[in-house]
Amino acid sequence: MSTSIRGAATPAARTAPLDAAALRRDFPILAQEVRGKPLVYLDNAATSQKPRVVIDALREYYETTNANIHRGIHDLSEKSTAAYEDARVRVAGFINAARPHEVIFTRGTTDGINMLARAWGDANVTSGNEILLTEVEHHSNLVPWQELAKRRDARLRFIPTDPAGVIDLDAFAGMLGPQTKLVAVHHVSNVLGVIAPVAAMARLAHEHGAVIAIDGAQSAPHMPVDVQALDVDFLTFSGHKMAGPTGIGVLYGKEHLLEAMEPAHFGGSMIRAVELESSTWADLPYKFEGGTPNIAGAIGLGVAVDYLDGIGMDAIDAHARQLGAYAVNVLSDMPGVTVHGPDADGERGGVVSFTVEDLHPHDVGTVLDGEGVAIRAGHHCAQPLMRKLGVHATARASVYLYNTTDEIDCLVESVVKAQRFFGTV
Ligand code: PLP
């Protein structure tokens, strides 16, 4: 039976629609003008902005509590340790982990996936084994597995997806077999916004004895992610994309899998006993947190997840889906604009990639920047996906809880300006 340690949000708070215009005031950076225009920040898939409570928590930590953790016998060290461990409990509650020590603090998603590839992969993947991925993955959920496959003489296979990035579940089921060791897929694509059916994939993977690791970089910030309900074995995500600080992230793993794993980083803080020739390891989660961790970052992430839970992850999810669908509709209606990814009524979140006929995405991004509209243009760390889409790059707008419909309208007006500027309409 699933255990719940989720805490902060009341059911009412979690279902009420959010008031983005009011929430914006929590984010000091959004009040500024850029190039003489009000800032329209639509680059949230790259990193989100930070609410004042998180900024204040970081300052307060350094002004009042700063000390190294788990080592001191003095007051500040005890307080710092308590705050760090309290953050772990909050983050565990946020993803409904059964136990706080299933949450390992990392530097971010990339760090977590690399740790997993070393600590779980090297011990469990052998010659002839298969790792199933998709062509939609961010490089961070592809390159570490390429390297693992090289080290262990294993094979990468790619689950078919349609042009919108929707996973073919039947084809996936047909690929699973005794040779499948790992399924490593995104939860939400950072390019197409498409949401993967991870609960169904976890069920199928487990039926074949495979482990499933989810790249939650674009889901944990935007939707309720319940690791027990999804029954995923591992989940990685980054604090900086979810109102938290940079340099902090999470590798969640089921207790029995983490217990069986060797550490990936060796040194101080992660040992039980050290002899000259060999050592033994501390208990979970410490055996995976060698060296001084990002203490302030973890505390800031704890405050960030409380902030998000206070608004309600269901409301944040609904807001992202609604704005995403609105953006898809208005952009698709524009002459010369192609939206990549699912239609407005498909399983998609608030990441919207598009290309404009005869315009390079960088040129689109530059004109938008002149209007105060911050988007991203490029391959979005997904070069194989770009090739699959038949483009070199896309422009990408991505929303968060503080974005409004007016800002999407501003994006659209700015794209029209870009088309007029370059004479393509
Ligand atoms: N996976 C996805 C889907 C992402 O969108 C990103 C970042 O954009 C990452 C992994 C890597 O995250 P980080 O750079 O925080 O390690």
Which atom of ligand 1 has the smallest separation from the CA of 109? 16
The DSSP bridge pattern shows strands 155-159 and 180-186 to be unpaired
List 381, 392, 421, 422, catalytic entry: 381
Q: How many Cβ atoms sit within 10 Å of the Cβ of residue 390?
A: 9
Q: What is the DSSP string of 364-380?
A: HHHHHHHTTEE-EEE-T
Residue 152: φ, ψ to 5°: -110, 10
d(Cα 132, Cα 88) in Å, to the nearest integer?
30
Asked whether residue 196 falls in the same domain as residue 107, the answer is yes
CA distances for 149 relative to 137, 144, 171, 367, angstroms: 16, 9, 22, 42
CA distances for 160 relative to 202, 203, 255, angstroms: 17, 18, 31
Which of 280, 310, 340 finishes a domain? 310
In the DSSP assignment, the letter for residue 105 is E
Asked whether residue 43 falls in the same domain as residue 103, the answer is no
Which atom of ligand 1 has the smallest separation from the CA of 215? 1
Asked whether residue 135 falls in the same domain as residue 81, the answer is yes
Q: Which two tokens stand for residue 405?
A: 């419909």
Report the separation in Å between the CA atom of 258 and the middle of ligand 1, taken as the mean of its atom positions.
Answer: 22
Q: Tell me the Cα Rg of the chain.
A: 22
Q: Which of 218, 225, 379 to mutate to test the pocket of ligand 1 (most atoms within 8 A of CB)?
A: 218
Which of 310, 329, 348 finishes a domain? 310
Residue 153: Cβ-neighbour burial (10 angstroms; 0-12, 13-18, 19+) = exposed
In the DSSP assignment, the letter for residue 183 is E
Asked whether residue 124 falls in the same domain as residue 181, the answer is yes
pLDDT at position 2 is: 34
Q: What is the DSSP string of 195-211?
A: BP-HHHHHHHHHHTT-E
CA distances for 332 relative to 324, 339, 409, angstroms: 12, 6, 13
Q: How many Cβ atoms sit within 10 Å of the Cβ of residue 163?
A: 12
Asked whether residue 71 falls in the same domain as residue 42, the answer is no
Between the CA atoms of 268, 270, 272 and 275, what dihedral angle is there, to the nearest 10 degrees? -50
Asked whether residue 330 falls in the same domain as residue 305, the answer is no
Residues of the chain with pLDDT under 70: 1-15
Task: Pick the residue whose CA is nearest to atom 12 on ligand 1.
Answer: 109
Q: Is the CB of 141 under 6 A from ligand 1?
A: yes
Cα 384 → chain centroid: 19
Asked whether residue 291 falls in the same domain as residue 359, the answer is no
pLDDT at position 13 is: 45
Q: How many domains does the chain have?
A: 2
List all residues 6 or more positions away from 267 whose beta carbon is below 8 Å from its beta carbon. 290, 291
Which of 258, 281, 310 finishes a domain? 310
Residue 394: φ, ψ to 5°: -135, 165
pLDDT at position 15 is: 55
List all residues 6 or more positions away from 212 whose beta carbon is below 8 Å from its beta carbon. 182, 183, 184, 185, 198, 201, 202, 205, 206, 232, 233, 234
Domain span at residue 336 reads 11-47+312-421
Q: Is the CB of 44 under 6 A from ligand 1?
A: no
Active site residue 410: no
Q: Which two tokens stand for residue 258?
A: 């983490």
3-state helix, strand, coil in the chain (%, to 5): 45, 20, 40
pLDDT at position 154 is: 98
Asked whether residue 230 falls in the same domain as residue 319, the answer is no
pLDDT at position 6 is: 38
Asked whether residue 184 falls in the same domain as residue 80, the answer is yes
pLDDT at position 5 is: 37
